[in-house]
Amino acid sequence: MKTLEISGLHKQFVDSYTDEVVTAVGDVSFAVEQGEFISVLGPSGCGKTTVLNIVAGFEKQTDGSVLVGGREISGPSPERGVVFQSFALFPWKTVLGNVVFGLRMRGVPRQEREPIARQYLDLVGLEGFERKFPHELSGGMQQRLGVARVLANEPEVMLMDEPFASVDAQTRRKLQEDLTGIFESKRPTVFFVTHDVDEAVFLSDRVVVLSSRPSQVNEIVTVPLERPRDWRSVLDDPDFRHTVTHITDLLSGDESRVVQADLDSA
């Protein structure tokens, strides 16, 4: 069953300074199966975050449709939880309070909330930090909390917008491995936006490669790697290197076309 179906997605907006009409998303269509990890990859400024924002319900598309579980989406909803690059935690709530928030909003009875929240804090490795405030955690731990907060709501699809872009390289590797572990044990449906090719290939079942603006789907690459995955074995895997090279070629070919187009127009 298709959990998420995006078809003919198109987004234009008017630049408020120049009054120019800018096309952020040209024509994007793809579908995500239930329990699938899919990454959206593209050159910077290609509108991949715009696609995520539309799926999240933060922005409205100009044309096309987004179906979740077969129903047209309207506005933000807990069925599409978002993990942000900026973490976007509630600084005035404790770690536990942050995870419980979604459950409270959805009207889960009080006595059930805490056990559920603790279960997800354990899952991301934050047990023992329940009473801390977010600013007392490291960046990596803050993003673990961001993941736990979304997963506790058991969304149809978890949307992740470059979630590890603002943590240091070492922590990022660890977080990617842990996310893979969580994915392999819980099998949530994940829609992951990134500009890091290695990251996309390591994490995903399939990678949607977008062309530069106005974005279209260039190719959907299936990642031929076995699960469970970890960085040590994946880095040695020729399939991994091959997939990364292929996607890098797709992206750079696109870039040289852009450069050529710029030269032509100049």
Binding mask 162-181 for other proteins (x = CB under 8 A): ----x---------------
- The strand pair at 21-33 and 37-41 is best described as unpaired
Using the contact rule CB under 8 A, the part of the chain among 90-98, 191-199, 210-218, 228-236 near other proteins is 90-98
Please tell me whether residue 86 binds other proteins under the rule CB under 8 A.
yes
Applying CB under 8 A, which of residues 7, 22, 90, 187 lies at the interface with other proteins?
A: 90
Overall residue count recorded for the chain in this entry: 266
Q: Site for other proteins (CB under 8 A): which residue of 70, 75, 109, 115?
A: 75
Among positions 43, 57, 188, 214, the unique one binding other proteins when judged by CB under 8 A: 57
Q: Which of residues 126-145 bind other proteins (CB under 8 A)?
A: 133-136, 139
Q: Does 210 bind other proteins (CB under 8 A)?
A: no
Q: Which is nearer to other proteins, 75 or 238 (CB)?
A: 75
Least Å distance, CB 211 to other proteins, is: 27
Residue 192 identity (one-letter amino acid): F
Contact (CB, 8 A) for 204 and 247? no
Q: Does 77 bind other proteins (CB under 8 A)?
A: yes
Nearest alpha-carbon partner for 152 in 191, 126, 180, 178: 126
The single residue among 9, 56, 96, 117 that binds other proteins, judged by CB under 8 A, is: 56
Q: Does 71 bind other proteins (CB under 8 A)?
A: no
Q: Is residue 109 within the footprint of other proteins (CB under 8 A)?
A: no
Shortest spacing between CB 75 and other proteins, in angstroms = 8
Binder among 101, 164, 183, 192 for other proteins (CB under 8 A): 101
- Residue 104 CB, shortest distance to other proteins, in Å, is 9
Q: Which residues bind other proteins (CB under 8 A)?
A: 56-58, 75-78, 80-82, 84, 86-92, 101-102, 105-106, 133-136, 139, 149-150, 153, 159, 166
